[in-house]
Each structure stands twice: as C-alpha cells, then as structure tokens.
C-alpha cells in the first residue's frame, strides 16, 4: 500500500475477518492474539523463537528477528495493521512497516519510551512532575553530579525493565562502581524519594484523538517486578486518581499517541505524584481488566489499531491481580511443576491465566491470577487465600 493509499484509508475501520500482526511473541502478544481471534481476526506474530507463547497460538508465525527484511516484508504482505507487544522492538522496524501498513504505536513514540532521558524530557514538556535526575554519559558528567541526587537509583537509559539495569546507590563511591558494573553505558540517576506506594494508568488513544482509560491501578512491586495490583473504587484518594488520569492523558496527547499506553507513577508520602516511566503497550498491571472490566486492555489495543470505536471501559467487579512467577513451580516441599491450581480454582472469583511458557525460572512471568468479588474486602481475602496456597508472601 502506498503512502497516498494509507492517507486515503484514514480512520476507515479494519473489520473482523482481516489479518492483524504483532511484533513480539511473549505473553502480551499471546493475550493480544487470543483477543483478536475472539473478535474474528486472523493473526500474525513475528518472533524468532519457535516456541514463543504468542507464536504457538497464532494463525501465522514468522520466525525471524525484528529487523529481518524478509520477515518484515512477509508481515506487510499478510497484515492490514500491525502493533507491538514489547517496547524494545526496534523503532526502525515499525517505521519500515508504516510505509505500507497502518502501524500503532508509531516508531517515533516507541523510540521515546526506549530512552529514559528522552522519556523524562517528554514528561516535563507535558508539565508532569518527575523525580530530580541527571543524565550520565561521560566520566565528567559523573564527577559533576550534584550531591543532592544521592541516595538515588541508577538506571540504564535503554533496555531496562522489571528492575533490570538498575542499581541503588548511596554515595559517589557506590555510584561510580555501579556505573562501571553497568558497562559505562548512558544512564539516568534518579533521586530516591520517600514513597508511600505506586500506581499506574492505562489509557487508549485513537487516531482521531479520542482518549479512554482503565481505572487507576494501585501496585505492589517486589524485587523490581510487579507482584500485586488492586483495583476498586476508592483504592486511591480522589485527588490522586484525577491527577494520575490527567497526567497520563497529557502524556499520550503530547505524543499524538495511537494505541494503548501505560504510565507508571510513584505516590510520595506527602500524597503527591511523580511519573516513573511509560510503556507503549498493554501492561502487566492491566491484566485484571480481562475479568473485571467489560473492555480489556487487549480489546482497547485492537480497537485502536483497527480504527474501531473506543468505548470507556467499566469496572464491574473489585479485583486483585497476582503475578505468578517461576519460583511458584519450584517451591520447597512441592513437586516441581505442580502449583496447587485445583485448590486455587476452588476459591470463588479466581480466574487463572497461564502463558504457555515451558521453563519456570525464578522471576520469570509464567501467568497471573485475577480475583474478582462483590467487594474490595472479599476480593482481598480470597486473593490472600490463593497467595497462601501458592506460596506467595502476604501483602
């Protein structure tokens, strides 16, 4: 399809029966594929791993790298529209596909999310508060850092997620050693702030600028990985909820973003919010929407990329989401590979989602459990029961 054809296509909806593609074959791609197929679309996954979770369930699986010209050409041939499930897919691959196919999010917006310094600059342009920080690219910049940024968290500017590429530092000596441990690559040092908790917002923005959102999610992280998400009316004070929603919408609009975007925030002990980072895709903290909302984050992703109407999702049940990591398959005293699903699924309102991954490794996301109930108290009580059965620490 030529550029002029793409322009003429405009916001014309791509209806069920068409073929859609996703770059990346992980669990987010798998859940996108399952939602697309439920809505009547055919699917294509591009991922080099023959056993990728998404590739195993898709109609087509292109087994090449993200930058392979033949693989990208095949995806363009098969698909009417393309998205990504992973923010570290090369932006250039998205740009190439966009020459002939509808692509969302755009490579230019993904490129910003791939670079912490560019990301923070965008947040500040949108008037959204960020933690005090500084970019470190050279030994001279390291030596010139203001002392008030310590203690802090040193993060690689690129390719960091789930706590990877991060070091906590309390002194210049620790900072220097940490930068060297990270390979002397460009990094951002963020001042460590007094946190009360963390939250996130998932917004969806259409080509014509319409924005809808999921409820604000209250999150608990352990070891840099999301452990628990709680969503119900009043999970955060109304002022914090409105501030988070306004900030996320401003960030999406400032990018002229098309697609699903997750924005993560730190809630400080004084009640104020600072933005942490954004993910240009569905997010772990939005998985609860599969069972607790009438429109999930994956359906929103599909509606954005196909030009179908966006509708405001409705939370119909208070819910908690538990991340299921690989160590649950290796708990002491338990036969390997047999978490007690039968006991968990005997509890009311428990919805199990497993990702089809073969190897359970500590810290690896193997699935999630959504717990819904008539009240927040009931959802939390059941989630704690499930956590106890599975060997997850209480929260």
CATH number at residue 89: 3.40.50.20
Structural domain contains residue 67: yes
**Which pLDDT score, from 0 to 100, does residue 338 have?**
84
Does 60 share its domain with 138? Answer: no
Prior bond of 11 cis (ω within 30°): no
**Which pLDDT score, from 0 to 100, does residue 163 have?**
61
Does 137 share its domain with 81? Answer: no
Q: What angle do CA 393, 394, 395 make, to 5 degrees?
A: 120
Question: Which residue in 321, 318, 322 sits closest to 373, CA to CA?
Answer: 318
Which positions of the chain have pLDDT values less than 70?
A: 1-11, 160-163, 331-337
Q: Which two tokens stand for residue 192?
A: 């460590």
Domain's final residue, options 142, 168, 191: 191
Does 136 share its domain with 180? Answer: yes
Number of residues in the chain: 395
Structural domain contains residue 173: yes
* Residue 48 DSSP one-character state: S
Structural domain contains residue 202: no
Domain count, the chain: 2
Q: Which two tokens stand for residue 344?
A: 């968990």
Q: How far apart are CA 345 and CA 330, in angstroms?
A: 20
**Which pLDDT score, from 0 to 100, does residue 333 have?**
57
Q: What angle do CA 83, 87, 92 make, to 5 degrees?
A: 70
Structural domain contains residue 186: yes
Q: Which residue has the tokens 């409705």?
A: 314
**Which pLDDT score, from 0 to 100, does residue 8 have?**
52
Does 97 share its domain with 23? Answer: yes
Structural domain contains residue 18: yes
Furthest C-alpha separation in the chain: 63
List Cβ neighbours of 127 (8 Å cut-off, separation of 6 or more): 250
Tell me the pTM. 0.93
Q: Which two tokens stand for residue 229?
A: 């998400």
Q: What share of the chain is helix, strand, coil (3-state, %, to 5)?
A: 35, 25, 40
Does 146 share its domain with 84? Answer: no
Q: Domain with 162 in it: what CATH number?
A: 3.30.1490.20
Domain's final residue, options 191, 206, 241: 191
Q: Whole domain around residue 153: which residue ranges?
A: 132-191
Domain's final residue, options 60, 85, 103: 103
**Which pLDDT score, from 0 to 100, does residue 332 have?**
64
Q: What are the pLDDT digits (tens) for 173-204?
A: 999 999 999 999 999 999 999 999 999 999 99
CB 14 within 8 A of CB 20: yes
Does 147 share its domain with 77? Answer: no
Structural domain contains residue 279: no
Beta strands per DSSP E along the chain:
19-23, 42-46, 60-62, 81-84, 102-103, 133-136, 152-156, 166-169, 187-191, 195-205, 211-213, 217-222, 225-231, 259-268, 273-279, 319-325, 350-354, 365-372
Compute how many other C-beta atoms are within 10 angstroms of the C-beta atom of residue 314.
11
Structural domain contains residue 315: no
**Which pLDDT score, from 0 to 100, does residue 161 have?**
63
Structural domain contains residue 321: no
Does 76 share its domain with 34? Answer: yes
CB 310 within 8 A of CB 303: yes
Q: Which two tokens stand for residue 224?
A: 């840099």
Does 21 share its domain with 83? Answer: yes
Q: How far apart are CA 38 and CA 35, in angstroms?
A: 5
Q: Which two tokens stand for residue 39?
A: 């809505």
Does 91 share its domain with 9? Answer: yes
């Amino acid at each position: 399809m030529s550029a002029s054809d793409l322009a003429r296509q405009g916001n014309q909806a791509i209806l069920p029966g068409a073929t859609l593609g996703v770059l990346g074959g992980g669990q987010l791609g798998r859940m996108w594929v399952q939602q697309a197929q439920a809505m009547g679309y055919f699917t294509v996954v591009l991922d080099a791993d023959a056993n990728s979770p998404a590739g195993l369930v898709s109609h087509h699986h292109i087994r090449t790298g993200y930058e392979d010209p033949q693989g990208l050409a095949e995806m363009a041939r098969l698909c009417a529209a393309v998205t990504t499930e992973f923010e570290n897919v090369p932006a250039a691959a998205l740009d190439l596909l966009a020459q002939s196919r509808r692509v969302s999010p755009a490579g230019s917006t993904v490129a910003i999310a791939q670079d912490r310094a560019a990301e923070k600059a965008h947040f500040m342009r949108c008037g959204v508060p960020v933690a005090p920080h500084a970019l470190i690219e050279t030994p001279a910049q390291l030596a010139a850092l203001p002392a008030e940024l310590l203690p802090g968290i040193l993060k690689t500017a690129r390719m960091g997620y789930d706590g990877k590429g991060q070091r906590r530092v309390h002194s210049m000596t620790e900072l220097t050693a940490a930068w060297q441990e990270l390979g002397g690559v460009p990094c951002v040092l963020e001042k460590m702030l007094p946190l009360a908790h963390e939250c996130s917002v998932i917004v969806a923005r259409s080509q014509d600028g319409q924005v809808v959102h999921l409820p604000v999610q209250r999150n608990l992280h352990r070891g840099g990985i999301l452990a628990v998400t709680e969503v119900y009316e009043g999970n955060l004070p109304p002022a914090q909820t409105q501030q988070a929603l306004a900030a996320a919408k401003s960030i999406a609009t400032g990018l002229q973003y098309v697609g699903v975007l997750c924005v993560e925030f730190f809630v400080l002990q004084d009640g104020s919010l600072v933005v942490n980072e954004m993910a240009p895709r569905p997010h772990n903290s939005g998985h609860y929407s599969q069972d607790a909302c009438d429109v999930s984050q994956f359906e929103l992703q599909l509606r954005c990329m196909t030009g179908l109407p966006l509708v405001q999702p409705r939370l119909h049940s208070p819910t908690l989401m538990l991340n299921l990591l690989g160590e649950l398959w290796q708990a002491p005293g338990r036969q390997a590979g047999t978490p007690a699903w039968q006991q968990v699924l005997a509890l009311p309102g428990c919805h199990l989602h497993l990702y089809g991954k073969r190897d359970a490794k500590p810290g690896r996301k193997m699935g999630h459990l959504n717990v819904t109930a008539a009240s927040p108290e009931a959802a939390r009580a059941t989630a704690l029961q499930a956590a106890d059965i599975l060997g997850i620490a209480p929260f």
